[in-house]
Structure 1
Amino acid sequence: MAETCTIQLLVDDPSVLAALSFSLSIDGFQIGESAQEAFVIDEGYGSDGVKVLEEMRAQGNKALAIVIATHPSRLLRNRIAGCDAVLIEKPLMGDEISRTLTALRNPLKVA
């Protein structure tokens, strides 16, 4: 089994939050209130989830980050990339977030 990490979910929509919490916990991830290992941030969190991430990065937070967004514009894609975060487009399909978190935490080593 892959090693797990604690994830903070920054999502305003209660049903999306519940679904993500359930799905990620089934996949072995811990959900925390102030996790510093990884974040999943909805683009609309607090009206601008990427701004929240930009502020976190400016304060030195280097945790893994995934931003979920619907129909992201080129500008939004560039902002997310500038934060060294991964974009996953909604609607979410299967275990895409947990697979991405696992890949980010355990990158393939090239011989």
Structure 2
Amino acid sequence: MSWADLHARTDILHAVLDRAARDPFDPTLFDDLPGLDRLFGGPDGVLLALRHRWENHLVVKLEHALAQGKSVVDVHNELTAEQPALRAILDAYDTDRLYRSPRPRALAS
């Protein structure tokens, strides 16, 4: 993957998150994003990349928080407050079904 592709992938993720901040159920959430199919294999690939991002952030926060005596629920709620658009899009779409057969291209974020 080139640097240009990496930046294009990041731009797509940010565009989707910006749209989800307004309405995570918007049927045009993934429309008109140049390179989405090539870089992610379609909307499902974007959802996988966003879920991967969420899980990475959650794991890091958990490692720090559990050492401080915080509960998993507290950490989850804290991350949800920090990244409401990301959580909203994951709540709006069934990403569990995607994890049964993830696409390597989608997870390369």
TM-score (norm 2): 0.24
Q: Comparing both chains, which one has the higher relative contact order based on Cα–Cα distances under 8 Å and sequence gaps of 6 or more? A: 2
Higher strand share: 1
TM-score by length of 1: 0.23
Structure showing greater radius of gyration is: 2
The answer to which structure has the higher helix fraction is 2
